[in-house]
Amino acid sequence: MIKVTVHEGQSLDDALKVFKRKCQKAKIIQDYKAKQRFEKRSDKKRRQRKERKKIARKVQRIIDKT
């Protein structure tokens, strides 16, 4: 459960931004949208493979820069 405390002098808009950022990091919204529709097992595996390739390319790009 995500909790955001509003401090003295902090606006409600700033607290809302913090809440949204925490939700993104916890992938709450992404999981919610993914569970709204059924995804076949083969499509899920294909998507995960694509995500792994994307991460591997990103890591390789970082390694090549150093």
Same domain for 23 and 53, yes or no, is no
Both 12 and 29 in one domain: the answer is yes
Q: Which residues of 7-28 are buried (b: 16+ CB within 10 A; e: fewer)?
A: eeeeeeeeeeeeeeeeeeeeee
In this prediction, residue 34 has a pLDDT band, given cuts at 50, 70 and 90, of: confident
Domain count, the chain: 2
Mean predicted lDDT score pLDDT of the chain: 93
Claim to verify: residue 48 and residue 21 sit in the same structural domain: no
Domain check: are 28 and 43 in the same one?
no
Residues 28 and 3 in one domain: yes
Q: Which domain holds residue 63?
A: 39-66
H helix runs in 1-66, sequence order: 12-26, 28-35, 41-65
Three-state DSSP class for residue 35: helix
Residues 4 and 31 in one domain: yes
pTM over the 0.85 mark:
no
Please report which confidence band the pLDDT of residue 63 belongs to, taking 50, 70 and 90 as the band edges. Answer: very high
